[in-house]
Amino acid sequence: MVFFKKKKPNIIMIKIDAVRCDALDKTSFYQELKKKSIFFSNLITYAPYSIGSLHSTFSGMYGNQNGVNGYYKSFSFDKENCFTLTQYLKEQGYYTEADWLNRNIAPQQGFDKIRVYDEHKDDVLKRHTQVLNQIKTKEPFFLSLDHVAVHTELVTNVLKKYDDFSEEYFNDKDNNFKRYLEWVKQSGVYLKAVLEKIKELGLWENSIILIFSDHGTSVGDKIGEKAYGVYLYDYSLRCFLYLIGKDFPKNLHINSLVRTIDILPTILEILKIKEKENYKKIHGKSFLPFIYGKEEERIAYSETGGLGGPTPSPEIHNVQGVRTNKWKLIYNKENKKKELYDLERDPNEENNVIGEHKDIEEKLFREIEVMGKKYSEKTESNDPSHIKLKAEN
């Protein structure tokens, strides 16, 4: 299938910070948006915090390859050996721009312009509609928009009020979630207005629009993590993606596992751009086969090292995990603890079955060992997409 035959499409990426996938079913706008898009409900992030997640997304690589494998390591991105999404697009004649909360949340290579806003002072919706007005004459363009209102509410109402072990917070999960849903609904108001602006400006017909979350958040799910970045449970790892474009199917729901590292190679395939040689290899794979109806088993590798929690390690990740559609293994290098979850039977990860499925545990731990290595060779790839784990195990 060939997309956008007549001219190069604009690419608009809208990141909705800290929205967990299970909140979407309880907000009407996000439900309606599924009818206009291809909806991926099982997008797994490399790191459950923005800096690690977005550096991985823009490079198509895990953090132990691109250099950003810790909260404090945004300046360690290997810009000499990693070719980013915006660099690919810039070479194809795209104008590239971003409006972010922080210019260091993602790689800056390849951008013509990066704007930075103040989440407490600026009207982000007004800013983003103005950016769209200004960029419409620069087609083809790539535009990255950062919506952080949910994150701002989390900082004000959770991060500044509680610690990672506050009983008052963890004993009130239902009310925490209700409050959180109100913040998510407001992000839907923002999104609706931005999408209407895209249509009003005549950009809808020749644009690929990607709406995604870079990580989720706890609402008191597990003691030790009041928000995100400490653990590797699905409430912070499992994200979503809406893919919108005139040539794409509508109302298509894909529940198969894909990864945030798969976004870059998907865009490259749509635009018929070949991967660069003499740079570190992309770990991700295009997810277009899922759109064509083909099924394949992929494995997602994730890492984190919390600012807080029981084993903080913001300098370098100390918690690793691998996830398939059915299984997840988590390994904490600090305390040597392993956790294994059957996600089909136990989607909330409440029953650690470590020791009960030795063959699965051993296979997944071997993948953690492979993925946990720091790969430096430009020709090496450590994507273990060959893994075969039968559903009946």
pLDDT value at residue 385: 46
Which pLDDT band, with edges at 50, 70 and 90, does 168 fall under?
Answer: very high
pLDDT at residue 105 in the model: 97
Give pLDDT, residue 5. 66
The enclosing H or E element of 89 equals helix 85-91
The helix/strand count (H/E) of the chain reads as: 12, 13
* pLDDT score for 2: 60
- Find the range with the poorest average confidence among 13-17, 144-148, 183-187, 385-389: 385-389
CA-to-CA separations, 191 to 237, 242, 248, 388, in angstroms, rounded = 22, 12, 20, 38
Which has the closest alpha carbon to 304: 328, 320, 327, 323? Answer: 320
Question: According to the model, what pLDDT value does residue 373 have?
Answer: 80
Calculate the CA 248 to chain-centre distance.
21
Confidence check: pLDDT of 377 > 60: no
DSSP state of 164: T
Residue 374 has a pLDDT of: 61
Q: In this model, does residue 185 exceed pLDDT 70?
A: yes
Q: At what angle do helices 173-200 and 124-135 cross, to 10 degrees?
A: 30
For residue 6, what pLDDT band results from cuts at 50, 70 and 90? confident
* Strand intervals (E) in the chain: 10-16, 38-44, 95-100, 113-116, 141-147, 207-212, 238-244, 252-254, 258-259, 300-304, 319-323, 327-332, 337-342
Q: Is the dihedral of CA 70, 71, 76, 77 positive or negative?
A: positive
Pick from 53-57, 239-243, 267-271, 369-373: least confident:
369-373
pTM for the full model? 0.95
Q: What is the pLDDT of residues 32-41, one digit of tens each?
A: 999 999 999 9
Confidence band of 226 (pLDDT split at 50, 70, 90): very high
The fold for domain 10-291 equals Alkaline Phosphatase, subunit A (3.40.720)
For residues 160-187, average pLDDT: 98
What is the per-residue pLDDT for 391? 39
Task: Find tokens 């997840």 and name the residue.
Answer: 328
Task: For residue range 271-312, list pLDDT tens digits in order.
Answer: 999 999 999 999 999 999 999 999 899 999 999 999 999 999
| pLDDT for res 95 | 98
Residue 115, strand partner residues: 99
Q: Is the pLDDT of residue 388 over 60?
A: no
**Dist CA 46 CA 214 (whole Å):** 9
The hierarchical CATH code for the domain 300-371 is: 3.30.1120.10
State in Å, rounded, how far the first CA of the chain is from the last one. Answer: 36
- Mean pLDDT for the stretch of residues 340-362: 97
Do 243 and 40 meet the contact criterion of CB atoms below 8 Å apart?
yes
Name the residue among 59, 80, 47 with its Cα closest to residue 282.
59
Picking from 59, 14, 60, 20, the residue whose alpha carbon sits closest to that of residue 42 is 20
List of residues 6+ apart from 234 with CB closer than 8 A:
216, 328, 343, 347, 348, 349
Q: Where are the alpha helices (H) located in 136-172, listed in sequence order?
A: 149-154, 167-170
C-beta neighbour count of 288 within 10 angstroms: 17
Over residues 316-339, the mean pLDDT reads 97
Q: What is the pLDDT of residue 24?
A: 96
Q: Which of 190, 189, 200 is nearest to 133 (CA)?
A: 200
| 33-52 exposure pattern, b = at least 16 Cβ within 10 A, e = fewer | bbeebbbbbbbbbbbbbbbb
What is the residue extent of each domain of the chain?
A: 10-291, 300-371
Write down the mean pLDDT value for the chain: 94
